[in-house]
Structure 1
């Protein structure tokens, strides 16, 4: 879901998730209540009851923590999947890193193959809310990131590459993809490949995006991640981002489906 859905949408945002449904082979809907929404629990329950999907991925502000008790009374199994934390930076207020090391350069266009390589290198071991749900095959989560990034690079990308590498694809070191989020530049995905992590490169990607935002007159940059991803949140704090929202992620699974999850896992193992 977009920053608008979790930060600014005025009501309940509900609808099918075609990419999730196609990837995991079960019907998935998404329902969200933004931090700015005045939607009530009754509004959310109405949206959930209208769904016929196998899984409803629900997101709502953590200050409405009493809602979860009501979710456990539905004809669905409620799983606490994660907690989404949102951060924001005023454009021009970032703590700029020192100049790029010699031989490295920022680029603003990458191929699908280059992006796939970086996704595998940066996200192979990354956990997210899908992993809390036994119905979702963990092996398909990484493919989901690749699919997502492939869509995002048409909106905007800042990437870091070794200009001295003979092979452009193997020379790609990290990236952020971004799009418009109600007047802000929203970082959708970002990371540095495993072999180049902890080498001070990530702030250069943030600086590259901040430059792009400034050149377009965009006043802020926003980003979100699961609360467990503490390391990257430290990087954001160091750069100057401030935490601005906290959102629960709950999976609501149609009754009876979890009883079959062991069989699904066994079939996946055999197919693998």
Structure 2
């Protein structure tokens, strides 16, 4: 979910569950998304009415974590409420990053080949524990395929970059980041280092590549997010200079009778 959708308040506070055609096709059930922004979003009653009015198999609800009383209320709406972790956002003013010392064997460049982007993401995000894994209706393999589709689209649209390492032979891609530019903000959507190169301090160079790109286009800030339990990558963000700014909860509201019985 894009940062602007989570932060921007609607002109008239409302709650609307919108169909997610791609997720519905991917997981073989009807899915709607309902997002409550951090500032100026609706109170609980409109959210309750939107959930009650939905005929979708699953409503994926995302709302600010400080609304701590909402989850208990969600349990009364006749659906099974599956707590699907939290989404933590971090932010960095462009130019404030603590980049590592430059290395002659590392460089970055835009990645426009969808097939290469897909290959990198399938390696980087193999076994990634995203919010889909909380729901037994969702096939983990289909979730991973969704990340690959996302990366392919980013490469085709020119908003994907790769980190390359030189050595013997041709430079090889060791990291990938997909981004979304929205005015003065650049959001990192997918980012990581391939499994064979992890643990070598390369992730900071990938962040530096995104920051360099953002600076070149005149962006003022970079934002990035992950599930709350992914503390290792959040420590890397902190070392680079990012600071945490918001947390949202993700809840899957499943129509009765769809979840397997224990």
Q: Counterparts of 1:59-98 in structure 2 under 5 Å?
A: 59-98=62-101
Name the SS of the counterpart of 1:80 in structure 2: strand
Counterpart CA distance in 1 for 2:168 and 2:118 is: 18
Q: Is 1:42 paired with 2:45?
A: yes
Q: Counterparts of 1:20-59 in structure 2 under 5 Å?
A: 20-59=23-62
1:172, distance to aligned residue in structure 2 (A): 1.4
Deviates more, 1:187-196 or 1:174-183: 174-183
Q: 1:266 corresponds to which residue? A: none
Is the contact between residue 17 and residue 28 of structure 1 (CA under 8 Å) also seen in structure 2?
Answer: yes
Is the contact between residue 13 and residue 33 of structure 1 (CA under 8 Å) also seen in structure 2?
Answer: no
Name the SS of the counterpart of 1:107 in structure 2: strand
Q: 1:245 corresponds to which residue? A: 246
Counterpart CA distance in 1 for 2:112 and 2:173 is: 9
Name the SS of the counterpart of 1:139 in structure 2: helix
Question: Of residues 91, 99, 102 in structure 1, which corresponds to 2:102?
Answer: 99
Is the contact between residue 5 and residue 13 of structure 1 (CA under 8 Å) also seen in structure 2?
Answer: no
Name the SS of the counterpart of 2:17 in structure 1: strand
Q: 1:198 corresponds to which residue? A: 199
TM-score by length of 2: 0.93
1:182, distance to aligned residue in structure 2 (A): 5.4
1:91, distance to aligned residue in structure 2 (A): 0.6
Is the contact between residue 30 and residue 56 of structure 1 (CA under 8 Å) also seen in structure 2?
Answer: yes
TM-score by length of 1: 0.90
* Structure 2: runs of 5+ lacking an equivalent: none
Q: 1:258 corresponds to which residue? A: 259
The alignment's C-alpha RMSD in Å is 1.7
* Structure 1: runs of 5+ lacking an equivalent: 263-272
Counterpart CA distance in 1 for 2:247 and 2:223 is: 13
Name the SS of the counterpart of 1:64 in structure 2: coil
Name the SS of the counterpart of 1:38 in structure 2: coil
Counterpart CA distance in 2 for 1:180 and 1:97 is: 24
Counterpart CA distance in 1 for 2:47 and 2:173 is: 43
1:178, distance to aligned residue in structure 2 (A): 0.4
Q: 2:216 corresponds to which residue? A: 215
Q: 2:116 corresponds to which residue? A: 114
Q: Counterparts of 1:161-180 in structure 2 under 5 Å?
A: 161-164=164-167, 166=169, 171-180=172-181
Is the contact between residue 84 and residue 224 of structure 1 (CA under 8 Å) also seen in structure 2?
Answer: yes
